[in-house]
Amino acid sequence: MILGYVPAPGRKSPERVRVDAPGSHFVRCPYKNELLEAMHELKPRKGARLVLFGTEVGADELPEAERHALMRRVGFVPADGGLMSTLNAWENISLPVAYHTPRKLAHALGEVHELLRELGGVDPAVLAKLPEDMTLYERRLAAYIRALLERPQLLVVEDLAHGLGPTKRRRTARFADVYHTRCPDGTYVQVEA
């Protein structure tokens, strides 16, 4: 199992989340925030169960090395972009690369420009914008590119098309295809409430 979540007993909606195979998946989840928080923290609520890549997370404390290894395999695209407000788009995108794999930083800008061309419809000048000056689509795009540069085995995107017009929704629909081009054995999961 790549991703599994069972909410704590007593939930109004006891549906389980289960993703067993790589590919693209759409998950409608009434307890979306609970699921995403458990994945970010690698700790489910009391009574809930979280499984990532066949490992039950939270049943017992995972050794620190195993927690970090799991975290590196998962990427997120929050609905609001999750960008640091004092950094421009390029700085937000490149910061994780500089921290986790600094040797890749020299080639990151070229890859970002390639991704912008591939996704279409975005002026590269967006890279100089602060989040407060970006559209919702641009913030999500920056978060998506930031996550994609890490090559996660599991990419979880939150409410990707929500709040966007038809043109931008069509552009976000390409995110899964571009992810699979770069991570052919990966799992792309779009989560909505």
Number of structural domains in the chain: 1
Query: Of the ranges 60-74, 85-99, 152-166, 179-193, which one carries the lowest mean pLDDT score?
Result: 60-74
- The answer to whether residue 109 is domain-embedded is no
**Partners of 27 in beta bridges:** 191
For residue 11, pLDDT over 70 is answered with no
Chain centre distance of CA 130: 20
Higher pLDDT, 9 or 97: 97
- Reported in sequence order, the residue ranges of the chain that DSSP labels E, i.e. its strands, are 3-6, 17-19, 23-28, 49-52, 55-57, 74-77, 154-158, 187-192
Concatenated DSSP letters of 147-161: HHHT--SEEEEESTT
Does residue 107 belong to any structural domain of this protein? Answer: no
User: Residue 30's domain is classified under what CATH number?
Assistant: 3.40.50.300
C-alpha to C-alpha distance for 153 and 101, rounded to whole angstroms: 16
Domain-embedded: residue 88: no
To the question of pTM greater than 0.85 for the whole model, the response is yes
Q: Is residue 166 part of a domain?
A: yes
Report the number of secondary-structure helices (H) and strands (E) in the chain.
6, 8
Tell me whether residue 73 is in a domain.
yes
The rounded mean pLDDT for the chain is 92
The residue segments making up the domain with residue 156 are 3-81+132-192
Higher pLDDT, residue 56 or 8 = 56
Please, which pLDDT band fits residue 121 given cuts at 50, 70 and 90? confident
**pLDDT one-digit tens code per residue, 20-70:** 999 999 999 888 999 999 998 898 988 899 999 999 997 567 888 888 899
Query: Within a domain: residue 152?
Result: yes
What pLDDT, on the 0 to 100 scale, is given for residue 12? 64
Question: Is 40 part of any domain?
Answer: yes
pLDDT score of 10 more than 80: no
Distance CA(69)–CA(85), nearest Å, equals 28
The answer as to whether 117 is a domain residue is no
What does the pLDDT read at residue 3?
Answer: 97
